[in-house]
């Protein structure tokens, strides 16, 4: 219908141009004016674009969540009963935590002890450096004494015994230097080792803290307790409590492995319910299956629609629309500006008042705009309305006040 309307407008434009121009123009000029096609234009722009995906599912009332312990253990207490309302993060059950608490205390003690070692090692380094410096001074003195005694011996002023004693002292000083240098290196290695021990002790504390935290089973969502599946004294190896979320409608969909990573919990999506007016409703991913169904190889995703109107009922079909691949700073044109000519994607540009077809390579589209990978430059004037009625090198008349070529 829109193409037909534009064609009528174009024809009217031809007739008007012919009628007005017939009084003062030559036949050739009249023919040229009549050959112009009325078009609207725009410029190639840059922007971000994301490709939407559409998956159909079914509206459901609330979500059932089985709450499990992160690690197996004996139940110490279950703090909720059927019908109780709980908030996300609320402790609803506890495991026996004596062993975990003891391991944390032990790990913390180990960390406290490890933190004292670097100070001791640094003190050892300073002491070793001082001893080495003193030994270096002594070695220089002993070497100087040896040289002086050697000179006296050569002149007959010192005995062989004095020369031997000087040599022994100088050799002992050198040997002591090597020993003290080794001691300094050992002290430095001790400091590095003590720092590594701190890192190990900190990791042990973190691990012990996680183990203790896992003894407290928390509600992952707001909801109502639908069932108490285990009692104190039993071993928590499966679900402890079943919760049902209330108030929010949800849409359950099944998606492929190509799409599941675009649907992280909390991601905003759009929901369309045809039976309720098909308006776009705001939704968010409430849960996402970590594994595919073995038979269908699809992943289950539940989308919450908290502000759904009363017309939306459980059991209705709904379509979830979400963004998948996204490209930043892409070259963009309106999707309808791309036409097919002999199997090629063409965008008509305007050069010197004429339509010039440009073969393009396209990328993703969002239903309104399409990415141009090759064939156009930013700022190029293109035809965005009337492109279906032009041919190569055909004169055009820009009628929307857009950019002139």
- Give me the pLDDT at residue 284, please: 94
Note whether residue 55 is domain-resident: no
- Give me the pLDDT at residue 193, please: 86
Shared domain for 231 and 371, answered yes or no, is no
Q: What is the CATH number of the domain that holds 136?
A: 1.10.287.620
Shared domain for 177 and 226, answered yes or no, is no
- Give me the pLDDT at residue 4, please: 42
* Count of other CB atoms within 10 angstroms of residue 133: 11
Residue 134 Rama label (left phi>0; alpha psi -120 to 50; beta) = alpha
Q: What is the CATH number of the domain that holds 363?
A: 2.40.420.20
Total domains in the fold of the chain: 3
Beta-sheet pairing, 280-288 with 268-272: antiparallel
- Give me the pLDDT at residue 401, please: 65
Shared domain for 108 and 197, answered yes or no, is yes
Q: Which of 234, 208, 227, 243 is nearest to 77 (CA)?
A: 234
- Give me the pLDDT at residue 113, please: 87
- Give me the pLDDT at residue 247, please: 63
Note whether residue 148 is domain-resident: yes
- Give me the pLDDT at residue 67, please: 94
Q: Which of 388, 303, 373 is nearest to 340 (CA)?
A: 388
Note whether residue 263 is domain-resident: no
What is the domain range of residue 117? Answer: 98-209
**340 contacts: CB under 8 Å, gap ≥ 6:** 346
Shared domain for 347 and 360, answered yes or no, is yes
Shared domain for 114 and 165, answered yes or no, is yes
Shared domain for 89 and 176, answered yes or no, is no
Note whether residue 26 is domain-resident: yes
Q: Cα dist. 42→7, 8, 376, 377 in Å?
A: 19, 22, 13, 13
Shared domain for 113 and 164, answered yes or no, is yes
Residue 180: enclosing H or E segment and its boundaries?
helix 160-213
Shared domain for 89 and 142, answered yes or no, is no
Q: Which of 221, 297, 194, 206 is nearest to 64 (CA)?
A: 221
- Give me the pLDDT at residue 278, please: 85
Domain-ending residue, one of 161, 194, 209? 209
59 and 312 Cβ atoms separated by less than 8 Å: yes
Note whether residue 158 is domain-resident: yes
Burial class of residue 350 (count of CB atoms within 10 Å of its CB; 0-12, 13-18, 19+): buried
d(CA 127, CA 62): 70
Q: How many CA atoms lie within 13 A of 228 on its CB side?
A: 15
Shared domain for 75 and 15, answered yes or no, is no
Shared domain for 235 and 186, answered yes or no, is no
d(CA 338, CA 360): 8
Shared domain for 390 and 333, answered yes or no, is yes
Note whether residue 154 is domain-resident: yes
- Give me the pLDDT at residue 404, please: 56
Q: What is the CATH number of the domain that holds 223?
A: 2.40.50.100
Burial 254-288 (b: 16+ CB within 10 A, else e): bbeeebbebbeeeeebbbbbeebeeeebebebbbb
Three-class SS state of 11: helix
Structure token pair of residue 22: 């017939």
Residue 57: enclosing H or E segment and its boundaries?
strand 45-61
Beta-sheet pairing, 361-365 with 317-334: unpaired
- Give me the pLDDT at residue 402, please: 61
Structure token pair of residue 313: 């009922």
d(CA 205, CA 186): 28
Shared domain for 202 and 114, answered yes or no, is yes
Mean pLDDT of successive 10-residue segments in the chain (405 residues)? Answer: 44 42 47 74 95 92 84 92 89 92 92 86 88 91 93 91 92 91 88 88 92 93 87 90 79 94 93 90 92 94 86 87 92 96 94 94 93 96 94 92 60
Note whether residue 196 is domain-resident: yes
Beta-sheet pairing, 223-228 with 45-61: unpaired
Note whether residue 199 is domain-resident: yes
Burial class of residue 116 (count of CB atoms within 10 Å of its CB; 0-12, 13-18, 19+): exposed
Intra-chain end-to-end CA distance of the chain, in Å: 29
């Amino acid at each position: 219908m829109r193409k037909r309307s534009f064609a009528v407008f174009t024809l009217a434009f031809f007739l008007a141009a012919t009628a007005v121009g017939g009084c003062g123009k030559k036949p050739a000029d009249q023919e040229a004016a009549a050959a112009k096609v009325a078009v609207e234009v725009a410029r190639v722009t840059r922007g971000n674009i994301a490709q939407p995906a559409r998956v159909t599912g079914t509206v459901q009332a609330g979500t059932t969540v089985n709450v499990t312990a992160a690690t197996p253990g004996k139940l110490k207490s279950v703090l909720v009963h059927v019908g109780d309302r709980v908030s996300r993060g609320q402790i609803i059950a506890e495991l026996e935590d004596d062993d975990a608490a003891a391991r944390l205390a032990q790990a913390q003690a180990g960390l406290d002890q490890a933190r004292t070692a670097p100070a001791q090692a640094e003190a050892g380094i300073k002491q070793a450096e001082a001893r080495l410096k003193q030994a270096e001074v002594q070695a220089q003195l002993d070497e100087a004494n040896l040289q002086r005694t050697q000179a006296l011996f050569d002149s007959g002023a010192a005995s062989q015994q004095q020369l031997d004693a000087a040599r022994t002292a100088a050799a002992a000083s050198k040997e002591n230097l090597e020993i003290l240098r080794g001691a300094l290196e050992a002290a430095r290695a001790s400091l590095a080792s003590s720092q590594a021990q701190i890192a190990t002790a900190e990791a042990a504390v973190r691990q012990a803290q996680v183990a203790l935290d896992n003894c407290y089973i928390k509600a992952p969502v707001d909801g109502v307790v639908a069932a108490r599946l285990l009692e104190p004294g039993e071993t928590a190896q499966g679900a402890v409590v079943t919760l049902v979320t209330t108030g929010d409608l949800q849409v359950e969909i099944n998606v492929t492995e190509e799409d599941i990573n675009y649907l992280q919990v909390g991601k905003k999506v759009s929901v369309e319910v045809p039976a309720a007016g098909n308006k776009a409703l705001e939704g968010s991913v409430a849960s996402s299956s970590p594994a595919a169904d073995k038979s269908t190889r699809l992943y289950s995703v539940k989308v919450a629609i908290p502000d759904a109107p009363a017309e939306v009922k459980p059991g209705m079909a709904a379509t979830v629309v979400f963004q998948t691949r996204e490209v930043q700073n892409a070259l963009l044109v309106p999707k309808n500006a791309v036409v097919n000519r002999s199997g090629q994607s063409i965008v008509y540009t305007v050069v010197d008042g004429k339509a010039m077809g440009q073969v393009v390579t396209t990328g993703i589209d969002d239903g309104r705009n399409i990415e141009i990978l090759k064939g156009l430059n930013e700022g190029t004037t293109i035809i965005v309305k009337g492109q279906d009625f032009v041919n190569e090198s055909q004169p055009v008349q820009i009628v929307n006040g857009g950019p002139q070529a």
